[in-house]
Each structure stands twice: as C-alpha cells, then as structure tokens.
Amino acid sequence: MNYQGLVKSLDLPAGWVPPTELAYDDIRARAISRADLDHDVRGINASVDLIQRTRGGGWPTGPVSADFNYVDLVWHELEFREGYSFTYAVYHSHGQYLGCCYLYPMGRRTPLTEELLKYDVDVSWVGYSRRLRARLLHEAVRRTPALDQRSIPVH
C-alpha cells in the first residue's frame, strides 16, 4: 500500500490533557510558546548547519528573524492545544536554553511507511546531548498514556 501523504494521528485517550511542563533531575521542558521566541531564534540561528544535516524538510536553510519564527511558535501552540503534536522548549534548571523536543504523529516529519505504522509517535530533538534526550524522554513516556519506549523511534 502507498502511504504517501498520510499521517497516523496520535492515539490519545478522550479528555487527556498533555503535560505543559516536564522535569527530570536538572532538565525542565515546557510547552513551547511565544514566550520562548528569543531563545528559539538564537537556538535556530546557532544550529542552522546541524538542522540542515539532521532535519531537512521545511526547516530553515538560513538564519530566521523573530517575526518569521513568531508564526511558527503560534502554530506549535495551536498544535499543542488541539493535540496534533507536542513541542517543548528545554531548559536547564538554572535557566539555560538547551533546545527543543518534538513529538509528532508518524508521517508528519518523515514519509509514512508500513514499517513506521507500528510506532505511535515520532520523537526528535534539536540542540542538546544524547544524555539529556534520554532523561527527557523518560519523563515524557512516564507522563503520556499509551506510550512506551518500544513505540517511539527516536531520531
């Protein structure tokens, strides 16, 4: 079967409210919002080369302005509110911005295939170490129903 253009919606329980904040040891993540604009713009602009090597797709190919990125942050807020996807800005407990964590439905970021149908969510990251990713993923899985580490391809 050809799955091109299809997206596997996140299967969340009726009435479930996603956590707007996650914490694990000294890592803090909160639903990304317009309040994260300055940090996000600096993070993107400092990581354009990394983004191009690892993200592709509709991601920036050069520096972004605050006006340009503002629209993306509003879009992330809407997606979060409607339960379509969940993006978190990640900070050290001392306030240092570390990057972002994205939980997208399968087929949104990468083309859906028969192999990918067995997974529940596409988790990806920009900006911080593998150790920090594992710690944050642990907390997200603990707080999200119907997700376990077997159901998440981590990129």
DSSP E strand stretches across the chain: 21-24, 27-31, 86-92, 97-104, 122-126
What per-residue confidence (pLDDT) applies to 122?
Answer: 84
Task: Please report whether residue 125 resides in a domain.
Answer: yes
Task: Compute the distance between CA of residue 148 and CA of residue 128 in angstroms, rounded to an integer.
Answer: 22
Mean pLDDT of 14-32: 88
Collect all residues with Cβ–Cβ distance below 8 Å to 134 and sequence separation of at least 6: none
Closest residue by Cα to residue 28 from 100, 99, 93, 94: 93
Task: Please report whether residue 133 resides in a domain.
Answer: yes
CATH of the domain at 74: 3.40.630.30
Task: Please report whether residue 79 resides in a domain.
Answer: yes
Q: Domain of 113?
A: 21-151
Mean pLDDT of 2-18: 88
Q: 3-state class of 21 per DSSP?
A: strand
- Residue-wise pLDDT tens digits, 116-152: 888 888 887 777 655 566 666 666 666 565 454 444 4
Task: Please report whether residue 67 resides in a domain.
Answer: yes
Task: Please report whether residue 15 resides in a domain.
Answer: no
Task: Please report whether residue 14 resides in a domain.
Answer: no
How many domains does the chain divide into? 1
Task: Please report whether residue 126 resides in a domain.
Answer: yes
Mean pLDDT of 28-45: 94
Q: 3-state class of 118 per DSSP?
A: helix
- Residue-wise pLDDT tens digits, 65-115: 999 999 999 999 999 999 999 999 999 889 989 888 888 898 888 889 998
pTM for the model stands at 0.82
Task: Please report whether residue 29 resides in a domain.
Answer: yes
The token pair at 37 is 């604009």
